[in-house]
């Protein structure tokens, strides 16, 4: 039986979806140590904005740790944090304190020099989730904002909450979206011009209009909202802008979708032009045949849009993927820079979306300057002189016949996701955490599409998935160097004036590279998978590098594609780590390994198990529990360890017995038994494959 033909499209969930044996080089305490160089960059001793500046360049002017001294880097301290899931938000630092977000929209404050946990804030502690969607997305939080004496976090139930940096006591809160409309906040707020900017996620469900809001940073007063798609075509539109946008959605679109176009991550405040640059999500659903007939650009989805930061008024837009059918969103990877172009210093927007291209846009007008792919792509043959893609039929999966597979590059997870880009403002080099992960799509008998990212596991030698750190010259749109990683889902990047680029890996190491050559100069043990970008600051005359690590269960793609985001050893408890020159703290513990008891149920026939695997993926179980039931950790248990004792137990779970907010998964008796057969056989495979007890 062909398992590929049995795979179902996952409803309501888009799965956007070795070890280097090295450790931190600690200096022996008995050896005579040379004096540590002292930093002179006092103005860079904090890291108060998400990218260390409003331009989002993830660059630091500190140079105490540099290409000559990095070999002496060691661990100063490592502290486990009291949170359920791993940490993916980037740490912020002010006045000797580290501020870190966790799952459940938690906020932690730790001492920079010692790691001591000073306080914890839990905005959802007394708020049960309103839906299963919120239950799932509560684990996702990609960071914080700091403003004066406040820490500001977005919550999964649609609030912005400001708390005091010193005490952790709430100062104000405001609702910026409607959870009843399947909105939720998963991204980090941005700060600019005394305002907080926040978007939200519609979970790619197409049930509502995407939007971005601005509130007063001191008081939380709501200032303005910009919608990314038009409203009901039978009703008057908000303005002439949306009358224009309405014409790009084709016929009959509103009966099928409300558009979505979420501003779920990418925003950057342009302080020079006092504008907010946003990246919008793809239209939903992904299959273009299920949206409007003869649609155009479906404005303002799949676009980079500039808004007046004072009023929220539209300034310009640039559509990257007209008719987007692959989830290739510019809702990730935005940065501002000033570059020498044609003999003139020009203010530009750098956009590195999911689609595999780097774009340069004029920040004042939105006009396309240049663009080129930095990884292999097969959805476009290139870009024309206006930046519009030159279509390649190779990736038009919706035109393929039933049973005819289409291989897509990049996958719907993207060539780059929300992990932080970095930039060298002196040499004008961009550093991109990149992924190559071929995706196979195939129409089944119901007309839906399967999504398979694991071609190599199925014997396809061309289907290898891997990650890269790519150094890219955006002026010439050319490769400078690239370093290949074994697994696709690694951490964000940070560049420093010490000539270094840092990036964490899925295997649990913080790597340091020579920014000019790409030579790896060090690999330091974190003991847990890293998805966030490091931050760096000075305290007591020493430069600290701070990085969060742990089981990456706070990322939907990381949780679903278990073996691509972590190893068994790197699924450790959530922790913060600090590295300094001469650090000699003990190496953090790796994750303890599960043991698998002998199942009390006999194996099922292989054919029935194969049917169950298709159901397991199609029903969305894989999004939390991972492929093969191999959870990365967090709230979702490893189903090889916690096998339902019998079919009746499984039916109760599917009916919501263990998670009251979980919607009932309606399966007939035959499908339920097939699903159980898959879980039983998977547990047997784990027991017989080692670590048995």
Q: Indicate whether 247 pLDDT > 50.
A: yes
Q: What is the mean pLDDT of residues 596-600?
A: 89
Q: How high is the pLDDT of residue 658?
A: 59
Q: Indicate whether 334 pLDDT > 80.
A: yes
Q: How high is the pLDDT of residue 348?
A: 98
Q: What is the mean pLDDT of residues 530-540?
A: 96
Q: Indicate whether 30 pLDDT > 50.
A: no
Q: What is the mean pLDDT of residues 121-149?
A: 84
The distance from CA 379 to its chain's CA centroid, rounded to whole angstroms, is: 22
In degrees, rounded to 5, the angle at the alpha carbon of residue 265 between the alpha carbons of residues 171 and 475 is 125
The answer to whether the Cα torsion of 636, 90, 276, 196 is positive or negative is: positive
User: What are the Cα distances from residue 107, in Å, to 170, 514, 634?
Assistant: 11, 33, 17
Question: What value does the CA radius of gyration of the chain take, rounded to a whole number of Å?
Answer: 24
Q: Indicate whether 603 pLDDT > 90.
A: yes
**511: β partners:** 503, 523
Conformational region of residue 491, where left means phi above 0, alpha means psi within -120 to 50, and beta covers everything else: beta
Taking Cα atoms as reference points, which of 122, 188, 178 lies closest to residue 152?
188
Sheet holding 478-485, edge to edge: 422-424, 429-436, 466-473, 478-485
Q: How high is the pLDDT of residue 176?
A: 96
Q: How high is the pLDDT of residue 659?
A: 55
Q: Indicate whether 665 pLDDT > 80.
A: no
Looking at the chain, the whole-number percentage of residues with pLDDT higher than 70 is 89
Q: How high is the pLDDT of residue 21?
A: 28
Q: How high is the pLDDT of residue 148?
A: 97
| 82: confidence class by pLDDT, cuts 50, 70, 90 | very high
User: What are the Cα distances from residue 84, in Å, to 104, 139, 230, 633?
Assistant: 8, 8, 39, 9
Q: How high is the pLDDT of residue 33?
A: 38
Q: What is the mean pLDDT of residues 237-259?
A: 95
Q: What is the mean pLDDT of residues 111-124?
A: 96
User: What are the Cα distances from residue 186, in Å, to 88, 173, 362, 547, 592?
Assistant: 11, 16, 29, 20, 29
pLDDT tens digit string along 613-622? Answer: 888 877 778 7
Q: What is the mean pLDDT of residues 564-588?
A: 94
- As to burial, measured by CB atoms within 10 angstroms (0-12 exposed, 13-18 middle, 19+ buried), residue 605 is exposed
Q: What is the mean pLDDT of residues 65-69?
A: 98
Q: What is the mean pLDDT of residues 589-606?
A: 89
Give the whole-angstrom CA distance, residue 651 versus residue 69.
59
Q: Indicate whether 629 pLDDT > 90.
A: no
Give the predicted TM-score (pTM) of the model.
0.90
Give the whole-angstrom CA distance, residue 109 versus residue 116.
8
Q: What is the mean pLDDT of residues 577-584?
A: 98
The distance from CA 73 to its chain's CA centroid, rounded to whole angstroms, is: 28
Q: How high is the pLDDT of residue 34?
A: 39
Q: Indicate whether 661 pLDDT > 80.
A: no
Q: Indicate whether 680 pLDDT > 50.
A: yes
Q: How high is the pLDDT of residue 446?
A: 66
Range in 156-160, 355-359, 420-424, 634-638 the model is least confident about: 634-638
User: What are the Cα distances from residue 60, in Å, to 12, 149, 346?
Assistant: 40, 22, 22
Pairing of strands 190-192, 195-198: antiparallel
Ordered by where they begin, the domains of the chain are: 53-78+418-591 (no CATH), 229-262+265-410 (2.40.10.480), 606-688 (1.10.760.10)
CB 79 within 8 A of CB 576: yes
pLDDT tens digit string along 164-183? Answer: 999 999 999 999 998 888 88
Q: How high is the pLDDT of residue 18?
A: 27
């Amino acid at each position: 039986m062909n398992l590929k033909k049995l795979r179902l499209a996952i409803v309501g969930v888009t799965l956007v979806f070795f070890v280097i044996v090295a450790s931190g080089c600690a200096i022996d305490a008995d050896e005579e140590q040379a004096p540590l160089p002292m930093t002179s960059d006092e103005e860079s001793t904090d890291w108060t904005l998400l990218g260390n500046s409003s331009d989002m360049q993830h660059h630091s002017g500190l140079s105490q740790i540099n290409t000559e001294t990095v070999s002496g880097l060691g661990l100063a301290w490592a502290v486990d944090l009291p949170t359920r899931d791993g940490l993916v938000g980037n740490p912020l630092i002010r006045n000797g304190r580290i501020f870190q977000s966790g799952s459940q929209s938690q906020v932690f404050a730790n001492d920079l020099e010692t790691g001591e946990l000073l306080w914890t804030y839990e905005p959802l502690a007394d708020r049960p989730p309103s839906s299963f969607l919120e239950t799932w997305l509560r684990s996702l939080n990609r960071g914080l904002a700091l403003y004066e004496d406040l820490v500001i976090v977005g919550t999964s139930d649609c609030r912005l909450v400001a708390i005091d940096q010193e005490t952790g006591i709430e100062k104000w809160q405001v609702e910026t979206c409607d959870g009843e409309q399947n909105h939720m906040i998963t991204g980090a707020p941005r700060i600019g011009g005394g305002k907080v900017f926040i978007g939200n996620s519609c979970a790619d469900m197409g049930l509502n209009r995407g939007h971005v809001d601005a509130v007063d940073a001191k008081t939380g007063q709501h200032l303005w909202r910009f919608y990314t798609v038009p409203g009901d075509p039978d009703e008057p539109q908000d303005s002439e802008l949306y009358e224009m946008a309405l014409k790009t959605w084709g016929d009959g679109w509103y009966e099928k979708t409300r558009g979505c176009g979420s501003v779920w991550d990418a925003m950057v405040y342009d302080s020079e032009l006092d504008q907010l640059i946003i990246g919008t999500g793809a239209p939903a659903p992904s299959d273009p045949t299920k949206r409007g007939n003869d649609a155009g650009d479906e404005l303002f989805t799949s676009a980079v849009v500039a808004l007046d930061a004072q009023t929220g008024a539209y300034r310009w837009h640039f559509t990257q993927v007209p008719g987007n059918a692959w989830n290739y969103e510019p809702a990730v990877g935005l940065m501002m820079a000033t570059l020498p172009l044609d003999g003139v210093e020009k203010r530009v927007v750098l956009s590195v979306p999911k689609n595999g291209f780097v774009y340069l846009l004029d920040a004042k007008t939105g006009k396309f300057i240049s663009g080129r792919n930095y990884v292999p792509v097969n959805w476009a043959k290139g870009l024309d002189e206006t930046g519009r893609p030159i279509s390649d039929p190779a990736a038009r999966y919706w035109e393929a016949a039933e049973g005819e597979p289409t291989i897509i590059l990049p996958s719907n997870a993207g060539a780059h996701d929300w992990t932080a880009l970095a930039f060298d403002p002196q040499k004008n080099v961009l550093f991109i955490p990149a992924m190559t992960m071929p995706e196979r799509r195939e129409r089944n008998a119901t007309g839906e599409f399967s999504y398979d990212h694991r071609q190599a596991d199925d014997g396809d030698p061309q289907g290898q998935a891997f990650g890269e750190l790519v150094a890219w010259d955006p002026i010439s749109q050319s490769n400078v160097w690239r370093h290949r990683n074994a697994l696709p889902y690694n951490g964000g990047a940070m560049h420093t004036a010490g000539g270094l680029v840092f990036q964490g890996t899925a295997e649990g190491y913080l790597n340091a590279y020579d920014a000019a050559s790409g030579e790896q100069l060090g690999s330091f043990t974190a003991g847990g998978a890293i998805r966030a970008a490091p931050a760096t600051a000075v305290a007591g005359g020493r430069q600290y590098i701070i990085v969060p690590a742990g089981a990456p269960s706070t990322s939907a793609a990381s949780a679903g594609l278990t073996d691509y985001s972590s190893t068994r050893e790197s699924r450790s408890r959530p922790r913060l780590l600090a590295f300094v020159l001469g650090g000699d703290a003990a190496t953090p513990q790796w994750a303890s390994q599960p043991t698998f008891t002998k199942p009390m149920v006999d194996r099922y026939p292989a054919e029935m198990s194969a049917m169950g695997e298709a159901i397991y993926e199609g029903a969305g179980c894989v999004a939390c529990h991972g492929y093969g039931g191999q959870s990365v950790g967090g709230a979702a248990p490893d189903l090889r360890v916690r096998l339902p004792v019998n079919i009746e137990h499984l039916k109760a779970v599917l009916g919501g017995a263990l998670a009251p907010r979980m919607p009932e998964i309606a399966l007939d008796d035959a499908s339920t038994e097939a699903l159980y057969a898959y879980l039983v056989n998977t547990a047997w495979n784990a027991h017989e494959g080692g670590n048995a007890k």
